[in-house]
Amino acid sequence: MRHRGWCSLVGLMSLAMPPAQAASCPGWSPAQARQELLALHDRLDGWNHAYRVGEQSPVDDAVYDQAMLRFEQWRRCFPAQAPPAPAHLADAGGRAVAAVAQTGLAKLPDAAALEAWMRERADQDLWVQPKADGVAVTLLYIDGQLYQAVSRGDGLHGTDWTARAHSIAAIPQQLPQAPARVVLQGELYWRRPGHVQVDDGGANARSAVAGALARDALDGATAAQIGLFVWDWPGGPADMPERLAGLKAMGLRDSVNYTQPVNSLKDVKRWREHWYRHAMPFAADGIVVRQGRRPEATSWQASPPKWAVAWKYPAASALAEVLAVEFTIGRTGRITPVLQLEPVQLDDHRVHRVNVGSLSRWRAWDIHPGDQVQVSLAGLTIPRLQSVAWRTKQRAALELPDPAAYTALTCWQPSAGCQQQFLARLVWLGGRQGLQLNGIGADTWRALIDAGLIRQLLDWMRLTPAQLASVEGIGGARAASLARAFAGARQRPFARWLQALGMPARVSNEPASWAALSKRGVSQWQALDGIGAGRAAQLVDFFGSGEVRAQAARLHAAGVQGF
């Protein structure tokens, strides 16, 4: 029941927008403004075409809506340079004429807007339904027999899906106890038994059913994956209870089960939350609230009506502007691009950074400041980069670190160009995979480096409580706690110290001696279970490194076991 591009401009502009995105106008020249506006206009046109003609969703509805808001904001900022608004339905029509217009829905941004809408209809019986995530269809029955199935198209004309509909078991081929002429409107969805929206999200459900319907013919297995949720009976009885009773008699029980009466915003919220967090047979991206009584179907138009509105679930993805690209250098010398974003809200998370993953992925996507990216939450908590929505036309040059300058054995001091990798070494050394120095993280290590107290990897071992207390932000009690933790590290087992220094592999039954391990050659390492030629070479390099040997010497002097 998705109606991208069918929202009234008032409804669209009322969508919630992160404050930064509704902020001041970009500082562009007229020429750049024209260039950027045209680029976004073309991208919106492409998305519209894919959605209306190809029945595909290149981006989530939330991202599309945000892009439209961005376009309208820029048009207001630069009216002289602005192209006309995209023609949402310019190429959406088909040859088949729908029996009744598909109206679409206006989307309300929040509970307050819905409450105001409901207050204006206090004397109307109101009902709530899940907003099924599939492709809309209009079904026409003559004398109880399926006569026509038409896609949404431009609301008045669409693609004739009748031949496909005859092979989909979920679409009744004959309606028992039906009037001579029946028009049903609903959603063809991809079956997902046990789907929980809050956990599973959209799961590309719409794309799956749209792709199936785009084929020349449906095979039996694919057709069986398509379900039908009827959300309206245009021309049916005037009252909702009578319509539901009629739909039930036709065998359309889902329509009855998923259409519930509501008397207050509290009722709507309860059903919205229930459908969001409990298993359903299909994906749903929100709820629809509609009046039980509405105008005669002959008066319906291909535009959002006043008698029904949508309230969507928290956005699964969002559009974000890239403010900067940082290249972080990890303990092993791996360079990871990280995007600094104009903050966006995803569920209850404020996202302002996202990891690209690898330097090669960043190069393939060619992301620069000013680009617009689509981000989502992985596992409901971790920001994830999904795609580049569109690129700014004026590309800023970026200075990349040299990958050849960093390896697993570089940067044992915080010298120029080594600050990031050195800090990463300390974080690893004190972390759960290393010495397990509880409560000591990147901020503490950074403060000690900035104070000049750590210039070599193991300088922290000799710091006194007085020295620690001299660091800004570390009081006397905290200094004493740190000193105890640092002193206790000397008692950690030899194997844990090896991990803390970054030994490339964990080896069972290791000799408890640095001297014994450092004498091994490639063949001796490779003779151990799980050690291949590459890892054996890394181990030889590790134990042969002058920097690593220097750390071992300091640990020997400090009396650490095994060194």
Catalytic positions:
131
What DSSP state is assigned to residue 207? H
The span from the CA of 213 to the CA of 430, in Å, is: 56
H or E segment to which residue 387 belongs: strand 382-390
Phi, psi of 375 (to 5 degrees): -120, 150
H or E segment to which residue 328 belongs: strand 317-329
The span from the CA of 393 to the CA of 435, in Å, is: 49
What DSSP state is assigned to residue 174? B
CA distance between the termini of the chain: 68
Cα dist from 513 to 452, 459, 516, 554, 560, whole Å: 32, 23, 5, 15, 11
The span from the CA of 391 to the CA of 492, in Å, is: 51
Q: How does DSSP assign 3-68, residue by residue?
A: -TT-S-HHHHHTS---GGGGSSPP---HHHHHHHHHHHHHHHHHHHHHHHTS---SS-HHHHHHHH
Cα dist from 75 to 31, 70, 71, 79, 374, whole Å: 14, 9, 6, 5, 22
Q: Token pair 């974080």 is at which residue?
A: 427
CA angle 87, 90, 93 (to 5 degrees): 145
